Amino acid sequence: MGILTRFTDIMKSNINALLDKCEDPAKMIDQTLRDLREDLAEVKKETANIIADAKSADRQVKECEADIAKYTTAAQNALKAGNEDDARTLIAKKQQYENNLISYKKTQELTNANADKMRLMHDKLVNDIETLEAKRDAIKATVASAKAQEHINKIVSGGDKAKSSMESFERYEKKAEKMLDAATAEAELNAHTSAASSLADKYTSNGSDTSVEDELAAMKAKLGL
């Protein structure tokens, strides 16, 4: 029965749901198309045999029904002619065909049901393939745009990092300049303090010398020198 064993799976398959779930629709759509085309080829191959079986079963049923009708008429005619033994033989033959008809009808029902399933699968697969082929270019274009946008987002994200790094560098640069200004100011202050200290020492020394001279003069005066 081959492909017929997959009738339920094929008929329940939902192309749109499948594409929504997969991570990479562009890759999935090509693989799905290959699978569907393989299934369709198998359906076409098996459908011919199954339809042939259905037609054969139909023919057997019709032939059997015709035989039943023929032997029924013959038995009736035998009775009318007063030949009960012939009628009995004809009725027995008719009953054989009636038993065969039960089996033929079961086969007819099964083969026709299988033929209907094959037609349904054929139409479903053809429709799915046409749907995917119609969507393939659009889906691939959408995926390509999405990937391009992701690439742009990464570049923009990298630019933000560079901008952040530059801002940090500028902050460090300003901090360094501030430290340099502070050090320069401290150096200037130290230099000014050093000059003032030198002047103080100078005039302090002169003051000490004057005091010595004054005391020396006073001592001379006291000694009358």
Tokens at 145, concatenated: 């745009």
Percent helix, strand and coil across the chain, each rounded to 5? Answer: 95, 0, 5
Give the pLDDT score at 140.
73
Single pTM value for the model: 0.52
Give the pLDDT score at 109.
95
User: What mean pLDDT, rounded, does the chain reach?
Assistant: 78
Look at residue 12 and tell me whether its pLDDT is greater than 80: no
189-211 average pLDDT score: 59
- Residue matched to tokens 């005039």: 203
Residue 176: which pLDDT band, with cuts at 50, 70 and 90?
Answer: low
Q: Which of 34-43, 96-105, 146-155, 185-194 is predicted with the least confidence, judged by mean pLDDT?
A: 185-194
Q: What is the DSSP-derived secondary structure letter of residue 23?
A: S
Residue 136: which pLDDT band, with cuts at 50, 70 and 90?
Answer: confident
Residue 85: which pLDDT band, with cuts at 50, 70 and 90?
Answer: very high
Q: Measure the CA–CA gap between 144 and 136, rounded to whole angstroms.
A: 12
Task: Give the helix ranges, DSSP H, for 13-83.
Answer: 15-21, 25-80
Which residues are within 8 A (CB) of 146 and not within 5 positions of it... i.e. 6 or more apart? none
For residues 17-32, one letter each, b for 16 or more C-beta atoms within 10 angstroms of the residue's C-beta and e for the rest, the string is eebeeeeebbebbeeb
Helix 25-80 to helix 84-223 angle, to the nearest 10 degrees? 170
Look at residue 101 and tell me whether its pLDDT is greater than 90: yes
- Residue matched to tokens 């933000």: 160
Look at residue 181 and tell me whether its pLDDT is greater than 90: no
Residue 210: which pLDDT band, with cuts at 50, 70 and 90?
Answer: low
Polymer length of the chain: 225
* Angle at 61 (CA atoms; ends 59, 66), nearest 5 degrees: 95
Name the more confident of 133 and 73: 73
Look at residue 95 and tell me whether its pLDDT is greater than 90: yes
Tokens at 137, concatenated: 């270019």
Q: What is the DSSP-derived secondary structure letter of residue 24?
A: -
- Left, alpha or beta for 2 (phi > 0: left; psi -120 to 50: alpha)? left
70-88 average pLDDT score: 93
Q: What percent of the chain has pLDDT over 70?
A: 65
Tokens at 106, concatenated: 């079961």
Q: Measure the CA–CA gap between 53 and 108, rounded to whole angstroms.
A: 8
Give the pLDDT score at 203.
55
